[in-house]
């Protein structure tokens, strides 16, 4: 009986840390993204000892952070190039990154909520 309980504890190692990361991601909007960076750091640190289905949560958390990060930056770079190239008319291009960032914030939050739900249900994320 002890071996089975020890096996279950090893399989669950990292679960609290994964929950913390999902919660930090969910709370990142009111913190202007600061908590998402903290969550990323926690995810990188805790991922090393995680095994099995819990490891999929850390992999997904790190993946969605970097996807969101680059998709937040890219529209601003494109808009800046368009604004410089087309002058005052190009300034309208600055509205596009605002829309993209809003969509990304919603996506990031929804994915984080679904990730937390999967963690509570002891399921891997894909």
30-78: pLDDT as tens digits: 888 899 999 999 999 999 889 899 999 999 999 999 999 999 999 999 8
Half-sphere exposure of 10 (CA within 13 A, CB side): 8
pLDDT at 8: 47
pLDDT at 91: 75
The length of the chain, given as a count of residues:
126
What phi-psi label fits residue 119: left (phi over 0), alpha (psi between -120 and 50 degrees) or beta?
Answer: alpha
* Beta carbons of 21 and 61 less than 8 angstroms apart: yes
| Residue 31 tokens, joined | 């913190």
pLDDT of 117 strictly over 60: yes
Q: Please tell me the least confidently modeled range out of 8-17, 67-76, 93-102.
A: 8-17
pLDDT of 27 strictly over 80: yes
pTM of the model: 0.82
* Sign, CA torsion 87/92/98/100: negative
The residue that leads in pLDDT, 29 or 4, is: 29
pLDDT of 5 strictly over 80: no
Under the banding of pLDDT at 50, 70 and 90, the label for residue 11 is: low
Kindly list the distances between the CA atom of residue 68 and the CA atoms of 3, 21, 37, 60, 104, in Å, as whole numbers in the listed order: 41, 15, 12, 12, 7
């Amino acid at each position: 009986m002890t071996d089975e309980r020890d096996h279950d504890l090893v399989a669950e190692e990292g679960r609290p840390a994964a929950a913390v990361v999902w919660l930090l991601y969910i709370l990142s909007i009111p913190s202007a993204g600061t908590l998402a960076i903290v969550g990323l750091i926690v995810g990188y640190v805790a991922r090393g000892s995680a095994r099995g289905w819990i490891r999929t949560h850390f992999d997904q958390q790190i993946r969605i952070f970097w996807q969101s990060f680059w998709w937040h930056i890219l529209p601003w770079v494109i808009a800046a190039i368009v604004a410089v190239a087309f002058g005052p008319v190009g300034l309208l291009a600055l509205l596009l990154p605002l829309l993209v960032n809003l969509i990304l914030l919603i996506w990031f939050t929804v994915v984080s909520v679904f990730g937390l739900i999967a963690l509570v249900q002891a399921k891997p994320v894909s």
